[in-house]
Amino acid sequence: MGILEHLNEVNDVVIRSVLDREAFRTYGRVIRGYDFSEITDYMEHKTPIPENGNVYVVSVEEMETFSVADRVKNLIYGGMPIEIGYCNGRNTTLNGFEYHKGSEINIAVTDFMLCLGHVWDIENNTYDAEKVQVFFVPKGTAIEMYQTTLHLSPCRVTDEGFRGVVILPKGTNTPLEKEIPVDEEGQLLLQKNKWVIAHPEREPLMKQGAVGGVIGPNRELKY
């Protein structure tokens, strides 16, 4: 039995693959033609998976010096500056969503799953968790998630946890001097270029001041 088939057998929600172009097309695309081996080798040897929870590092200078970084900056982001970091961990739950103004690239250093949604399904700063689509991302796959795609931390598919590269417009997910919001979207702005809608049960996000607008169960994915 393949891993995707197994994940669908043990979960009560359909798990699709990012390699299914029709299923994934409104959320993003698979990136082909780039050699990310320097970055993934670095990740495998120099970025540990924590014993508990997740670790997110916005920017790793050494990964940003690899030759593929300039190709990504120039060809995918049109010459705009980027940051290359990572998210490693043991997460298994939905927890909420974030989105950015500009695409996010994820590179799966291990297999993992992503819970995804669309920004246009946010209504009055609430989001119905029943609209979530779960996608399996095979090890070695690089994806571009469009700026209209709601996402958050990957979910693991093994006891060992997950490793993933995160590439974003430079400055994203860094501290922000917040202004008084003038509309509903402004209430979701939590950090630079980071709009967040959290599940009310996700205490770390709620303590940061996130809007607890995800309605429904904080789904846990099994493996």
**Domain ranges in the chain?**
3-171
For 61-73, write each residue's pLDDT tens digit: 999 999 999 999 9
| Residues contacting residue 179 through CB under 8 Å, at least 6 positions apart | 186
Q: What percent of the chain has pLDDT over 90?
A: 99
Please tell me the predicted confidence (pLDDT) of residue 14: 98
Region 100-109: what's the mean pLDDT?
99
Q: Is the pLDDT of residue 1 over 90?
A: no
> Does residue 166 contact residue 106 with C-beta atoms inside 8 Å?
yes
Spatial distance between the Cα atoms of 93 and 217, rounded to a whole number of angstroms: 10
Give CA 71 to chain center in angstroms: 21
Q: Which residues of 67-85 are buried (b: 16+ CB within 10 A; e: fewer)?
A: ebbeebbeebbeeeebbbb
Spatial distance between the Cα atoms of 223 and 89, rounded to a whole number of angstroms: 15
Spatial distance between the Cα atoms of 215 and 132, rounded to a whole number of angstroms: 11
- What one-character-per-residue DSSP string does 65-85 give? TSHHHHHIIIIISTT--EEEE
Please tell me the predicted confidence (pLDDT) of residue 115: 99
For 202-214, write each residue's pLDDT tens digit: 999 999 999 999 9
Q: Is the pLDDT of residue 21 over 90?
A: yes
Please tell me the predicted confidence (pLDDT) of residue 186: 98
The helix or strand, by DSSP H or E, that contains position 21, with its residue range, turns out to be: helix 21-24
Spatial distance between the Cα atoms of 17 and 86, rounded to a whole number of angstroms: 21
pTM attached to this predicted model: 0.97
> Does residue 56 contact residue 91 with C-beta atoms inside 8 Å?
no
Spatial distance between the Cα atoms of 138 and 147, rounded to a whole number of angstroms: 22
Average pLDDT, the chain: 98
What's the fold here for domain 3-171? Answer: Jelly Rolls (2.60.120)
For 116-173, write each residue's pLDDT tens digit: 999 999 999 999 999 999 999 999 999 999 999 999 999 999 999 999 999 999 999 9
Q: Is the pLDDT of residue 178 over 90?
A: no
